[in-house]
């Protein structure tokens, strides 16, 4: 087993008597496997890649938390946007550098609510992140602080049913990625319920006194149609892709329960791509635990 990589323009190959562990994340790991001939045999052959083992599940089952941002105009002092715009951002940068104080010392989200989207839901299926900032894209497509005093409530569907895919369109180029967000109606329904939650929270104290007006989707978005349109037009990734090298014992699984790539000796995948389904919260802690568990299994397998 080994890996081939480019260094200073030359292709190098490193071999190991042990194992190769792929840990390139939910986009990178299936990409590496596919480029290496591990994936759907017919798809690979169509691109001129010789299949080593046919595993049609590689790149399938992409799960991610769909994310929708509501923003509210607020009274002066309630948003950090003015401190982070233009030259003031440099002042805050210097403040952080020399005093370790100021808005750059805190994370984006200052509070998080886990709530249920419907009366018959038994476990939270919505995560709402509250931020004293809002962001906007400039004419060059760059992300930066909003021009007005606004705050954000970012709504995330925690148990999405929709699935996307990672696949190759060429042997060498970047992978194609289809998020598949809102492919299942239930994923849209829960975000619609999240907007209702946020409106109720912002209509309650202590937030109500700070809010001047709802900015997005805006108070004209009333009723099912406009809200759904807003969700469809603005849904984005929460940057939590998982599941594209799914662990399992069935024919479509990519790795077995010890994270060994099925049908190949000496190759494991250890990262968020092995999650069979997405966790109902942020993904990094679960990924750390996958790594902890994998290190135990690898040591045990090599001792045996
Ligand atoms: C902007 C952003 C914010 C996030 N915020 C949070 C948060 O607040 N809380 C939370 O829990 N989770 C958060 N996440 C999600 C979290 O970062 C991921 O779930 C987690 O990092 C997944 O770990 P991983 O090891 O699977 O992949 P990664 O952390 O992506 O690690 C994969 C590594 O492989 C490398 N790589 C990829 N392809 C190749 C290749 N061909 N050759 C060599 N190296 C390669 C990459 O550069 C990367 O270093 C966030 C993600 C993003 C993008």
- CATH number of the domain that residue 148 is part of: 3.30.560.10
**Mean pLDDT along residues 201-215:** 97
Q: How far, in Å, is the centroid of ligand 1 from the Cα of 235? A: 21
Query: Residue 187 and residue 159: Cα distance in Å, rounded?
Result: 8
Residue 121 has pLDDT above 90, yes or no: yes
Q: Angle CA(129)–CA(160)–CA(241) in degrees, nearest 5?
A: 75
CATH of the domain at 15: 3.50.50.60
Give the range of the structural domain holding residue 174, as residue numbers without chain letter. 66-237
Residue 137 has pLDDT above 90, yes or no: no
Give yes or no: residues 33 and 119 share one domain: no
Q: How confident is the model at residue 147 (pLDDT cuts 50, 70, 90)?
A: confident
pLDDT of residue 30: 98
Q: How far, in Å, is the centroid of ligand 1 from the Cα of 25? A: 6
Residue 217 has pLDDT above 90, yes or no: yes
Q: Which of 4, 21, 28 to mutate to test the pocket of ligand 1 (most atoms within 8 A of CB)?
A: 28
pLDDT of residue 242: 98
Give yes or no: residues 8 and 143 share one domain: no
Query: Residue 269 and residue 261: Cα distance in Å, rounded?
Result: 7
Give yes or no: residues 92 and 15 share one domain: no
Atom of ligand 1 nearest to the CA of 285: 11
Atom of ligand 1 nearest to the CA of 282: 11
**Mean pLDDT along residues 202-220:** 96
**Mean pLDDT along residues 81-105:** 94
Give yes or no: residues 9 and 23 share one domain: yes
Instruction: Give pLDDT tens digits for 278-288.
Output: 999 999 999 99
- Residues in the ligand 1 pocket, defined by CB under 6 Å: 23-26, 28, 32, 239-240, 271-272, 282-285, 287
pLDDT of residue 139: 86
pLDDT of residue 141: 87
Q: Any long-range contacts for 146-149 (C-beta under 8 Å, 24+ apart)?
A: 146/71, 146/81, 147/81, 147/85, 148/73, 148/81, 148/215, 149/73, 149/74, 149/75, 149/76, 149/78, 149/79, 149/81, 149/82
Instruction: Give pLDDT tens digits for 123-132.
Output: 999 999 999 9
Query: Residue 160 and residue 63: Cα distance in Å, rounded?
Result: 7
pLDDT of residue 136: 86
Q: Is the pTM of this model over 0.85?
A: yes
Give yes or no: residues 46 and 94 share one domain: no
pLDDT of residue 279: 98
Query: Residue 20 and residue 10: Cα distance in Å, rounded?
Result: 21
Give yes or no: residues 207 and 283 share one domain: no
Give yes or no: residues 76 and 223 share one domain: yes
Q: How far, in Å, is the centroid of ligand 1 from the Cα of 29? A: 11
Length of the chain: 304
Give yes or no: residues 223 and 264 share one domain: no
* Nearest alpha carbon, ligand 1 atom 18: 284
End-of-domain residue from the set 196, 212, 237:
237
Q: How far, in Å, is the centroid of ligand 1 from the Cα of 232? A: 26
Give yes or no: residues 195 and 281 share one domain: no
Tell me if residue 240 is catalytic.
yes
Give yes or no: residues 70 and 57 share one domain: no
Residue 29 has pLDDT above 90, yes or no: yes
Instruction: Give pLDDT tens digits for 263-276.
Output: 999 999 999 999 99
Q: Which of 278, 283, 289, 290 to mutate to test the pocket of ligand 1 (most atoms within 8 A of CB)?
A: 283
Q: Which of 249, 273, 257, 269 is CA-nearest to residue 166?
A: 273
Average pLDDT of the residues of the chain: 96
Q: How many domains does the chain have?
A: 2
* Nearest alpha carbon, ligand 1 atom 50: 239
Q: Pairing between strand 267-269 and 20-22?
A: parallel
Q: How far, in Å, is the centroid of ligand 1 from the Cα of 59? A: 16
Give yes or no: residues 260 and 228 share one domain: no
End-of-domain residue from the set 184, 206, 237:
237
Query: Residue 126 and residue 190: Cα distance in Å, rounded?
Result: 7
């Amino acid at each position: 087993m080994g890996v081939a990589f480019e260094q200073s323009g030359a292709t190098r190959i490193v071999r190991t008597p042990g194992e190769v562990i792929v840990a390139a994340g939910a986009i990178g790991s299936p990409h590496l496997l596919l480029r290496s001939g591990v994936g759907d045999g017919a798809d690979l052959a169509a691109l001129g890649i010789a299949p080593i083992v046919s595993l049609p599940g590689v790149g399938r089952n992409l799960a991610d938390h769909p994310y929708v941002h509501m923003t509210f105009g607020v009274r002066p002092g309630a948003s950090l946007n003015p401190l982070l715009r233009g030259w003031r951002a440099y002042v805050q940068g210097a403040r952080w550098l020399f005093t370790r104080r100021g808005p750059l010392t805190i994370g984006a989200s200052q509070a998080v609510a886990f709530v249920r989207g419907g009366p018959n839901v038994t476990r939270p299926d919505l995560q709402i992140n509250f931020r004293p900032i809002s962001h906007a894209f400039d004419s060059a497509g760059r992300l930066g602080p909003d021009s007005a005093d606004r705050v954000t409530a970012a709504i995330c569907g925690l148990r999405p049913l929709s699935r996307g895919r990672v696949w190759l369109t060429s042997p060498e180029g970047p992978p194609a990625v289809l998020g598949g967000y809102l492919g299942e109606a239930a994923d849209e329904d829960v975000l619609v319920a999240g907007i209702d939650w946020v409106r109720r929270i912002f209509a309650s104290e202590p937030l109500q006194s700070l809010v001047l007006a709802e900015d997005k989707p805006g108070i004209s978005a009333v009723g099912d149609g406009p809200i759904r349109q807003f969700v469809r037009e603005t849904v984005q990734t929460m940057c939590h892709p998982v599941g594209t090298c799914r662990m399992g014992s069935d024919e479509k699984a990519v790795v077995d329960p010890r994270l060994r790539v099925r049908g190949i000796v000496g190759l494991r995948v250890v990262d968020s791509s092995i999650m069979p389904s997405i966790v109902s919260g942020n993904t990094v802690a679960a990924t750390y635990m996958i790594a902890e568990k994998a290190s135990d299994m690898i040591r045990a397998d090599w001792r045996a």
